[in-house]
Structure formats: C-alpha cells, structure tokens
Structure 1
Amino acid sequence: MRLYLNVPYGEKGEAKALGAKWDPRVKKWYTDSDPDHYVRFAKWILRETDDVLIATEYLHIIEGVRPCWKCGRPTRVVGLGFGEFIHIFGEPDDPQYEFIEDYLDPGQEVHLAWAQEEEIPPRLLRYLKEHYSVRTGYSKTVGESCFANHCDSCGAMQGNWFLFGEPDSPLSSEAEGNELVERMRGLKIYAIPIEDNLQLNWDVGFCSNDYAYLKYGRYEELILSTDPDNEYITYEELYREEGRGGR
C-alpha cells in the first residue's frame, strides 16, 4: 500500500534517495515500502506534528440517532472512525513506530473520530454532506466555527463536545453491560475500503470498549470507489476535487 508524502520541491532529491517514488497523476511523492520502514520518511510525515496516525485498510462512518436538544425530534448524528492504523511519533530525527492491529484480530476494533472539514478527504466529505446534515457553522459554545452535525428537522447544531467527548453520547463506547450492548446495537457502522494508507489529522478517541462497535453495531461495507474492478478507493480518487485532478 502506498503512503503519499508532502515533499517540498527542494527536498525531492533527498526523498528519492531514500526510495520515494513520484506519481505523475497525483503529482506527489509516495513510498510503497513496508510500514515499518516509514520512519525513513519521518522528515515529511512529522513535519508539523510529533504524533501521526496513518489509517490502513478501512475508514469508517459511525451513524447513530439522538433527540435534538432544541426541537426534541430524533436526528441522525455521525462520526468518523479509525480501524487498523500505523502510529508514527517523536521527533523527525528520532522517530518511533507502532503498528496497531486492532489489539485483537484485525478488523475487530473501531475508534471514534472527528475532524474539521478541511481535514476530511474531499470524496468522503462530499458523501457526508450528501447523506447527512453536516456542515461548518458557528458554535456559540466554543465561540468559533466548526464542522458539526445539525438536526435533520430544525437545523440546530448538535455539539461536538457532547457527541465526541461525553460518555453518554449515542456514539460513545464508554458504557458497561447491557447499556453498552444496546447503545452499540443502535449504531450503523460503515466500512470504506481504501487502497492506500492515509495520514489523517483527525481527533481520535480510544476506549477499552472499542471492540463493541463491530461486535454489536450493524456493519456494512460502503464502496466509494468508482472503479468497477477495484472496490478499494485510491488516494487519487479520495482527494480528487470535483472537476479537478489529484491533490
């Protein structure tokens, strides 16, 4: 699987010497080396942060329902999800590597996530906007604009802090016993197969109950790829803007 890198023009020689390759369609450098060799490219992976999660195999959409705080009607709410991932952390000159294979068997855990609009691959963002009441709006609670769920009926913003930070959120796995089972049974878990590994700047939460999403939730594969011969969507298609070429 490829991992695309943000390599400045002046550093292309260095990246090439380390084994990076140029994709003329996407117009970006990438590595197709084994993930445990990603530390070679830490200069470009850890350029703006000291902690990176790289999604592999699948992205997820987690769909639940809650009563709107304003009108009281049931409304759908969604989060994103990481499954299996690669963790690169530390300083660019002393990077550390960790391959998280879901702690149990591959594919048995999903970790709830959310992100600002600009951090979501354009193809996935279009799907979310076409199928759910999600958009960027001004939050009086945090005093700034954020990408958030809105009520299907009245349009009121459904707070990100509650949905992604509170244990009684309908999307949260922070519950026990029958409460956990019933909450997870109320969720739909959509798994999107991805062709390339993806470095994503998402806020990801971790809980010891994250196995419950796939154990009790209603699981379904969601194919975003338009290639009839490959159900795994590529980086090129995920990041292709409407009417434009690759990112």
Structure 2
Amino acid sequence: MKYLDVPSNEEDAAKELGAKFDADSNRWFVPDGLCTSDFNLWLPVEPNIQLVAPIFLVTSANRCYSCNEISVVHCLGSKAVFDLDDQEEIEGENPVLISNLSIDEPEIERAISEVAPLYNVDLSKTQGQQVYMNHCEKCGAKLGDFFLHSEPGGAFFPTDEHPEMPLQKKVIVEAGRFTCSGSYRYPL
C-alpha cells in the first residue's frame, strides 16, 4: 500500500483510478495490485535537500509566453542548502536559488502564501507532479521553472540582454532547517 497526497479538489479523479481512502490515517492510498505509475501526480515527492535559514523570497520579473506582458515571479532562496544525497552543504555569498520546489513546511508555506499568492502549488506537466509554480499576474498562465531558472534570459538566469528586473530578496524565515524536494543553483 502506497499513500498519496491528494488535494480535496482531485479526490474524485484519484477514486476513479482506483485509489482508496484510509479513514484511520485520513489519507488516500493505492491498493495492493494497482500500478502506482497511474498515480504519479499524487505520489509524495522524496526530500532531497535541506534549506538552511535565513530563507528568502527572491523576486524578479519575466515576460509571459501567453499574453506577452511582464509579470512578477518568485522563487525561494536560502543561505545554504544541504544536499541529502551527497551529504554536502553548499553555501556562498548570494542565496542559493531553489526551483521545482515541493515542500511540506507550514511556516514556509504560510510565508509564501502571504507575500506571493501567485507562486503556489500547481501541476507541472513537465515533471508530472505538484510543485510551487509562478502564474502570470495578467492572464494566469503557468510560468514553469525550467525557463525561469535554466534558460539564459529567464528571470532567475538574468543576462545583460534581458534585464527585466534585478533580483530582489526578502527574508521570510529567519532561523531553522527545512527539508524539501527541489533543484538548486547560485544566481549569476
């Protein structure tokens, strides 16, 4: 039996695929005998990094692919990241930027929702899972992390030819270590 993270608005879809509800744990699960790959959307993401505070909300801007308007975008940054796979801590002068973020830490989730409501958990079709994702202020289109973080000229990969907005950072959590799943890199 494999437990799932099913949002309340997607319970019917999980049930149609054969998921069952365990009233004791108050969670949905994949019964033995069913293929878990049918439920990839709701399988919990295994943590691979630990964010070391202070935790920053990093803000920039990017042109929306859908409406062609400039939209404010966000990501998390931290003083350091401890890579759980490599057992190595990465730290530098600038915050380490986090993309493809999946986190179950109420203090950070609350801080994000208060300051950046258009940076919220949504389905990434590229990854096939729920991650924090930016949404255009004007048209609501999903602004995926690959372009924002990995393409030169993206909001968190700025170049001289695309200086839409310099990176700004605001401390949202002052102390602690927070386990999550995501990718990390230093800004240029």
The normalised TM-score by structure 2 is 0.59
In 2 relative to 1, CA 70–185 (structure 1 residues): closer, same or farther, beyond 3 Å? closer
Indicate which of 79, 84, 88 corresponds to 1:83.
79
Segments of structure 1 that go 5 or more residues without pairing to the other structure are: 1-47, 91-96, 103-107, 213-247
In 2 relative to 1, CA 112–184 (structure 1 residues): closer, same or farther, beyond 3 Å? farther
Find the counterpart in structure 1 of residue 149 from structure 2.
Answer: 164
Indicate which of 65, 70, 85 corresponds to 2:61.
65
Find the counterpart in structure 2 of residue 123 from structure 1.
Answer: 107
Identify, as 1 or 2, the structure richer in strand: 2
How far did 1:159 drift? 1.7
Task: Write the distance in 1 (CA, Å) between the matches of 2:172 and 2:111.
Answer: 11
Q: Does the aligned pair in 2 maintain the 1:82–1:204 contact within 8 Å? A: no
The normalised TM-score by structure 1 is 0.47
Matched to 1:168, the amino acid is G
Larger RCO, structures 1/2 (Cα 8 Å, 6+ apart): 2
Find the counterpart in structure 1 of residue 50 from structure 2.
Answer: 54
Map Cα deviations across residues 121-180 of structure 1 (whole Å, 9 max, x no partner): 22222232233212333445556654311111111111222112212211125x4xxx29
Segments of structure 2 that go 5 or more residues without pairing to the other structure are: 1-45
Task: Write the distance in 1 (CA, Å) between the matches of 2:137 and 2:62.
Answer: 11
Identity, in percent, stands at 21
Map Cα deviations across residues 77-135 of structure 1 (whole Å, 9 max, x no partner): 11111323444545xxxxxx544442xxxxx2222112444x15222222322332123
Equivalent pairs, count: 142
Matched to 2:177, the amino acid is N
Task: Write the distance in 2 (CA, Å) between the matches of 1:112 and 1:127.
Answer: 17
Task: Write the distance in 1 (CA, Å) between the matches of 2:184 and 2:101.
Answer: 12
